Amino acid sequence: MSNKPLHQQSLTELSRSLQDGAISSTELTQHYLDRIKQLNGELNCFITVCEEQSLQQANAADRAIAAGNIKPLTGIPLAHKDLFCTEGVKTSCGSRMLDNWIAPYESTMTGNLKAAGTVMLGKLNMDEFAMGGSNENSYYGPVRNPWNREVIPGGSSGGSAAAMAAGLAAATTGSDTGGSIRQPASMCGITGLKPTYGRISRWGMVAFASSLDQAGPMTRTVEDAALMLNVMAGFDPKDSTSMDRAVPDYSATLNEPLKGLRIGLPKEYFAEGLDSRVEQTVRNAIAEYEKMGATVKEISLPHTHHSIAAYYVIAPAEASTNLSRFDGVRFGYRCEEPKNLEDLYQRSRGESFGSEVKNRIMIGTYALSAGYYDAYYTKAQKIRRLIRDDFLRAFEEVDVIMGPTAPTPAFPIGAKANDPVAMYLGDIFTISTNLAGLPGMSIPAGMVDGLPVGLQIIAPHFEEARLLNVGHQFQQTTDWHLRTPVDLRG
């Protein structure tokens, strides 16, 4: 058993301790529950803590282990972003609209993890309906970054990233529509993986933008992400966007040598707007790859500068359609004493949706309206194809693309509250990957002013194994992924 505190150990280390009988799942689960009680009040990572249920699941895992029925994730305590439906447990999407909604069914992804023997500690805070890049848009209040309580953790999966950085779960899940796994992973100093669109089922994941949303693991190490992806990925006939492709063993190729790896550096990712300290940190990380035998060349993704504009037409358009179901009639929040049906709709939605959600619904409805559909939505989809083609051409010359995950480290809570454009530009390096449907990952690469900085790695479609191999090799020669906030190490 490792000498490190339990909450600083990787999934691999914890799984080995559980298999060897050095610790029980009940003891491990109670350890995390105790840390949640101690720290969640100031960090605000969890919306719901499932103490009784998690201890029951841990007890069941201990019985399975005793009977020799153990899988790699059996008995491991996890927590889920609060937009994945979990049967019998509140699924709020960080919104007043769903504050009273108990999911009557289990999402495919959380069901896969449940079947693998994991323990669910609870549901994690997030920007309302995943709309935001700072986790300040939650009905339940902002999440605070464990590295500095005065700065954001990133969003929209800020609760998932902060919980990992603070050691409140062994692994967490997130969703990524325009960078919402990778950007908070960068700002909280953890590993965050957005797989290829269609690699993990979206069934039971409350939709923001259906053509962009993708679930993924948020973990301490790349090796842990591979273990999680082995279980999370797979074809689901209930999801029409799920890809019917075999799932490889992502752990099997982690230790492949990198000699001969061709790395592309998009000149558009090292331009104006990038903090010079972040740039230097990322270039230092890339130099480590050169020491391992990789070659580096500058490439161009010429339509990158259109990605923000295209995304903020496509995503709100899809959001306005997806959120039309939340009307106060069938489920969710309903206003008091409506005068008529129109009043019911208007007040239920007006009182329960936050300002960011309302803004995006209005933008999306406008973009889809008669007379503007072709001018905005159709044009944005054409730009999306150009962005995808840029990546496909680049991957004819290189094996992976690298660059910064975010242009700056985490910024103070409230600093960009009145400047939505500045907030949106924080996703400039991640959005293109979603528009193209590619897999991307952020791994810890250094520190700036005591705050983590992430290196983003992008691979061709369904090349998650390559992505994980490249990230794992970096973590074999550096220790940034092992760093934790000083005051949370005990």
Q: Which residues are catalytic?
A: 81, 156, 180
| Distance in angstroms (rounded) separating the CA atoms of residues 289 and 471 | 10
Helices (H), 243-295: 276-291
Under 8 Å between Cβ of 208 and 129: yes
CA 212 from chain centre, in angstroms, equals: 13
- Cα–Cα distance for residue pair 270/276, rounded to 1 Å: 9
Q: Which of 187, 254, 181, 188 is nearest to 218 (CA)?
A: 181
| Euclidean distance between CA atoms 265 and 95, whole angstroms | 39
Amino acid occupying residue 30: Q
The C-alpha atoms of residue 174 and residue 332 are separated, in whole angstroms, by: 23
Query: How is 43-78 classified by DSSP, letter by letter?
Result: H--EEEE-HHHHHHHHHHHHHHHHTT---TTTT-EE
Closest CA to 367 of 325, 319, 326: 319
Q: Are strands 119-124 and 77-81 parallel, antiparallel or unpaired?
A: parallel
- C-alpha dist (Å) from residue 358 to 100, 173, 288, 324, 352: 20, 26, 45, 12, 10
Residue with tokens 């969640």: 40
Sign, CA torsion 442/488/143/123: positive
119 SS3 class: strand
H/E segment holding residue 446: strand 440-448
Q: Please, are residues 162 and 136 in contact by the beta-carbon 8 Å criterion? A: no
Structure tokens at 135: 């986790």
How many C-beta neighbours within 10 Å does residue 355 have? 11
d(CA 433, CA 449): 28
How many CB atoms are closer than 10 A to CB 166?
27
Prior bond of 24 cis (ω within 30°): no
CB 315, CB 212: distance < 8 Å: yes
**Integer Cα distance of 483 and 8 in angstroms:** 9
